[in-house]
Chain A
């Protein structure tokens, strides 16, 4: 009962994750909570947390150099995407969801009539 839409590139580690990628995501949470959660998340990259305007949470900016260490592929393997940038985007999306909602949305394992499920 897997869902192709969420499965296609998640977990594949053969894709070389080269170059430099940077992404910013706004999270509706306190800065200290975000910093603490980031330390525990295991996502590679250098992170900066700044308060967003008008009390709208924080902006988490992360930059990853794909050549920096050998375990980047492994640490980004749970996230979907075919490039370093896409994997980082996916990782930050999941991180934001976990902090804001306590879970990450998924359809993997749901009921379906798809023949290949």
Chain B
């Protein structure tokens, strides 16, 4: 089959690799009909995540048709259309039983997970196509994929629903929705959302579903800010100000936004002096993660407010201002998205027309065009919001 493989920093290629096969009884094989490039795939592309190996198959947002099931899979049949959640989770361990599938204790078989356990205390669930740290499973930017624990993860798609309406239930729509849920929004709140990429866009739309009065969307790309505006947000281009935190306080009666969402993560751009220092420290390996946005959300958030972090962070940050969290009594909620528990409720919202996922798609291309799309997504964010690949 053809698959998109990571071949080095800023290098991916479409290669012919062996077809996947059933290995464990609870596996299924999916013929992929639609798959997408995620913003977090760019962390791999940019070499920010350790333990990638030349030839690893990328991709954790995918859906398709079941073509084979293991003998332990009784709820799926050949021919079913399914969306596959990005966390690989067993459904049986204690965290899975509580809906915290991203803390699955059984799904990550990789020896590299121990590095993560040593570094941050826990390896968590595996993720399709996301390095040795997260299990080394082959990803879904391919013609076929092996899906472990297929009796627990994949969700059947009702007849007549288009791929583009449900593909993003695999990751970015639930991730944006969880970001808004974790922000603990109360009616009348003002929410600031850093990052108007795909997750940020869904977070903005979800904030309104949770009753936000105002959403202030922050980015530097005009097309992304326009999309946020179309969703009802006020917008700020952070390149137009020397002091984003003060600007936000000025827009909120001097208090700061009640709730702040970081939908950017460890590769924040940041054009201020502090932003450049963060990037410098990251380049010199004085810290793993660029904390430009994290510093801003904690500085800006109103006392007693909530900070929700959906952007990906891997490890260590230099001189992190924890005192800001303490002094203001902030609540912080974060973590990978527990996709499984949001898929059905969000499918219902899509069917009711409350959310329209295809609005964020900017490119629809064949699998062979993936290398060019990675480059475009990384370098031309103003013209590229979301790429869907059709194997």
Contacts and interface: CB of A to CB of B under 8 A. Distances in A.
B252 interface: no
Contacts of A100: 90, 92-93, 105-106
A97 B137 contact: no
Given A111-B1, A111-B146, A8 B19 contact: no
B94 A5 contact: no
**Number of chain B interface residues as a range:** 35 or more
Interface string A65-94: 000000000000000100000000000000
Interface of A is mostly: loop
Contact of B112 (A5, A57, A105): A5
A56 B26 CA distance: 24
B72 A103 contact: yes
Interface in B4-21: 5, 7, 15, 17-21
Interface of B is mostly: loop
Contacts of A114: 53-56
Contact of A109 (B21, B54, B57, B90): B21
A42 interface: no
Contacts of A97: 90, 106
B132 A5 contact: yes
Most buried by B among A80, A106, A115: A106
B65 to A, nearest CB: 17
Contacts of A111: 1, 3, 17-21, 57, 138, 142, 144, 146
B17 A113 contact: yes
Interface of B: 1, 3, 5, 7, 15, 17-21, 23-26, 51, 53-57, 72, 88, 90-94, 97, 105-112, 126, 132, 135-138, 142, 144, 146, 148-149
